[in-house]
Structure 1
Amino acid sequence: MANTKGPVPLRSNSRSNRARILAVARQQLSENPDVAMDDIARAAGVVRRTLYGHFPGRAALLEALTDEGTETLLDTLRSTLVPYDTPEERLARHVLAGWPVGDRYRMLLALARRDLGDLKITEALVPPREIVTATLSRGQKAGVFSSHLPAEVLATALEALGLSLLEITAQGAWDGTAAEAAVATLIAAGVEPAGAADTVRRVQSESNPQQ
């Protein structure tokens, strides 16, 4: 009698290969932006044909990594949606939780921007940006965030600020932390400095009650 379950392990193996390739590529490209596709295949333990079967070229690989990073950031931001918090607290949570994700994918975003173009990155970041925009809009209506810019424009500006701070940190020009980035973001959104610092400390203490 034929084994009708034969193809299932193959599909499972294919998914496993793809996940391993992406994980290895993320590490390799972060260490060496110009690493060759063949070197990624070798490091992932797959043959060249397997790599190109999943990703026909470097652009396809970078696009997949960009989508992975965006989805990770989106899931992270969704996890910060606490129903009882204030707009300032929610924005602080966005930055505190999103900072390590941004750090992990910072180099890949820069590569994707270079190889795929700004439009691809702008489009990929739309879902996470919408969450931040909603937080800013809520804060503007409450009078706690500056309203000199529309919420969607302010969200884009704060996104650029966060990416710049990550890049400066990676270059060693600033040894800032996620907390300091969160304070800077709140100030840029219109919160006075002392209040911004208090908000970040309060959010951190709620996340780490033992401290």
Structure 2
Amino acid sequence: MQRTDIPGRTPQRSNARSNHRRILATARRTLRDDPDASLDSIAVAAGVTRRTLYGHFPGRQALIDELTHEAAQALHQAFAATRTPGADPLEAMARMALAAWAVGDRFRMLISLGRRRPGGDAVHAALAPARAEAIATIRRGQHQGVFAAHVPAPVLAHALEALMLALAEENGAGTWADPSGEAAATAFLVAAGVTPQAAARQVQDVMNG
């Protein structure tokens, strides 16, 4: 006998997918602003019952793991899309800053979670490739006299990451608008030791290229 679908199964699956996407989107925003947010608060914000949320994610760590994977993929793809072989350190850093800005909420959520959850967890593992690339580029630029060398490359990379997070938070709060990321990327390069004129010119070259 040929099997037929049970009436109502397709809408149920559609609703489940919709709920899953809504929970993830809500959790991304909520954990970005409050890394310690509970599953109950996320369920309320998403407009679903606690039982529905637990039907998709058996625990808080499962939700964070999926968000981390999603964000890491987005960050990796953004970096890969803007990376240019043979680019000098200044151009490479401008591209990385614009790529991080393009990821938006995902980048902010990863950084926020990483700051609250020290150790070798999945969040730090997800950020590790981007951080390693930034440190290597800064070190190369310091050797060439492009970036400030008064602090070690890992320290400068961490400070620049904090700057980008602060700028993204202001942009997200609506107190400052930079939809393209041009101003943020310019500020990023200036903080790395580049003159404002050279930083603005490099960012514009990358965006117009």
| Shift in CA distance, 131/21, structure 1 to aligned 2, threshold 3 Å | farther
**Distance in 2, Cα, partners of 1:80 & 1:108:** 21
Query: C-alpha distance in 1, partners of 2:108/2:147?
Result: 31
Contact 2:74 2:106 in 1 (8 A): no
Which one-letter code corresponds to 2:77 in the other structure? D
Whether 1:184 and 2:187 are equivalent positions in the alignment is yes
Rounded Cα–Cα distance in structure 2 between residues aligned with 1:85 and 1:111: 30
Larger mean CA deviation between 132-141 and 159-168 belongs to: 132-141
Question: How high is the sequence identity, in percent, across the aligned residues?
Answer: 37
User: After the TM superposition, which residues 19-30 of structure 1 pair with which residues of structure 2 at under 5 Å, given as runs?
Assistant: 23-29=21-27, 30=29
Q: CA deviation at 1:74?
A: 2.1
Structure 1 residue 68 corresponds to structure 2 residue 70: yes
- In the alignment, structure 2 segments of 5+ residues that lack a partner are 1-12
Contact kept, 8 Å, 1:89 with 1:199, in 2: the verdict is yes
Aligned AA (1:98): A
Per mean C-alpha deviation after superposition, the further-off stretch among 144-153 and 116-125 is 116-125
Q: Which residue of 1 aligns with 2:98?
A: 96
Q: Which moved more, 1:104-113 or 1:81-90?
A: 104-113
**Residue 59 (structure 1) shift:** 2.9
Deviations for 1:12-54, whole angstroms, at most 9, x for unmatched residues?
Answer: xx9xx7x8665322322326976444875949xxx947x5465
Query: Take 1:165 and 1:182, find their aligned partners in 2: how far apart are those partners?
Result: 10
Q: Distance in 2 between matches of 1:204 and 1:179?
A: 8
Alignment size in residue pairs? 189
**1:106 and 1:84 mapped to 2: Cα distance?**
26
Shift of 1:104: 2.5
Whole-Å separation in 1 of the counterparts to 2:194 and 2:77: 26
Equivalent residues in 2 for 1:40-189, closer than 5 Å: 42=48, 48=51, 52=54, 55-101=57-103, 103-105=104-106, 108-109=109-110, 112=113, 117-119=117-119, 120=121, 121-177=123-179, 178-189=181-192
Question: Taking structure 1 as the reference length, what is the TM-score of the superposition?
Answer: 0.72
TM-score (norm 2): 0.73
Partner of 1:201: 204
What amino acid maps onto 1:112 in structure 2? L
Query: Residues 89, 134 of structure 1: CA spacing in aligned structure 2 closer, same or farther, 3 A cutoff?
Result: same
Q: Secondary structure at the match of 1:56?
A: coil
Runs of 5+ in structure 1 lacking a partner? Answer: 1-13, 207-211
Letter in 2 for 1:26: L
The secondary structure found in structure 1 opposite 2:87 is: coil
Q: Secondary structure at the match of 2:82?
A: coil
- Pair 1:26–1:111, CA change in 2 (3 A): farther
Deviation at 1:100, TM superposition (A): 2.1
Distance 1:158 1:180 in 2: 14
Displacement after TM superposition at 1:156 (Å): 1.4
Change (3 A) 1:167 1:158: same
Task: Give the root-mean-square deviation of aligned CA atoms.
Answer: 3.4
